[in-house]
């Protein structure tokens, strides 16, 4: 018997997902519904936005594809300006389905990134649009990482319920900083030096 089996009977399939490291040539950053009329109602909105901005800065430095979404922009407003400023070349995908995989436009956007099988998730709300998107991604065979500090909901309870559901389904819970360091992989590159000030003070 191996040591893992001796200690706990081995790992489940979901636990094995935690061994999956983010790679800059495999990952796409998906930022869900950080909108002007949604974000103000989110608990700890400053943390959610700050962690999301860190991920967007890292995506820019590492040339990671980014997909932004909005939920019914006409009613809930556009993506917040801070997010748009970090991804000026990205046009948000507007949707009416809560889960992004229910949007043909979202599917078309993802299809522009062949060979990328990892989704790094951020956004709101944890138990609705983020959760339904993550479940849809897992059903399609994507490896999903969730930057938990970049995910929020109107209530802390719903945020936690959403995170637990996604983790039980097989997604990997992470943090913005943890994800960035996995994507960087090394400390001797120019990208690390440029991102270091934001890692020291993500504000």
Enumerate the active-site residues: 33, 95, 129
C-alpha neighbours within 13 Å on the C-beta side of residue 5: 2
Q: Can you tell me the distance from the alpha carbon of 93 to that of 109, in angstroms, rounded to the nearest whole number?
A: 8
CA angle 28, 31, 36 (to 5 degrees): 160
Burial 66-85 (b: 16+ CB within 10 A, else e): bbbbbbebeeebbbbeebbe
CB 89 within 8 A of CB 67: no
- The helices-and-strands tally (H runs, E runs) of the chain is 10, 6
Nearest to 169 by CA among 11, 4, 9, 12: 12
Q: Which residues, 6 or more positions from 197, have their beta carbon under 8 angstroms from its beta carbon? A: none
């Amino acid at each position: 018997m191996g040591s893992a089996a001796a200690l706990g009977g081995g790992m489940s399939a979901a636990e094995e997902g935690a061994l999956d490291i983010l790679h800059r040539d495999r990952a796409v950053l998906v930022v869900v519904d950080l909108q002007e009329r949604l974000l103000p109602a989110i608990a700890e909105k400053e943390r959610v936005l700050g962690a999301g901005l860190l991920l967007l800065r890292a995506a820019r430095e590492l040339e990671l594809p980014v997909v932004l979404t909005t939920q019914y922009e006409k009613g809930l407003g556009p993506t917040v300006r801070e997010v748009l400023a970090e991804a000026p070349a990205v046009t948000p995908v507007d949707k009416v389905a809560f889960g992004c995989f229910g949007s043909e436009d979202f599917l078309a956007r993802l299809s522009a990134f062949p060979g990328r099988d990892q989704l790094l998730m951020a956004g709101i709300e944890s138990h609705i649009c983020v959760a339904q998107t993550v479940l849809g991604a897992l059903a399609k065979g994507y490896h999903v990482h969730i930057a938990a500090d970049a995910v929020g909901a109107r209530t802390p309870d719903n945020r936690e319920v959403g995170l637990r559901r996604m983790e039980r389904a097989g997604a990997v819970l992470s943090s913005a900083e943890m994800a960035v360091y996995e994507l960087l992989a090394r400390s001797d590159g120019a990208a690390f030096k440029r991102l270091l000030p934001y890692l020291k003070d993500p504000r």
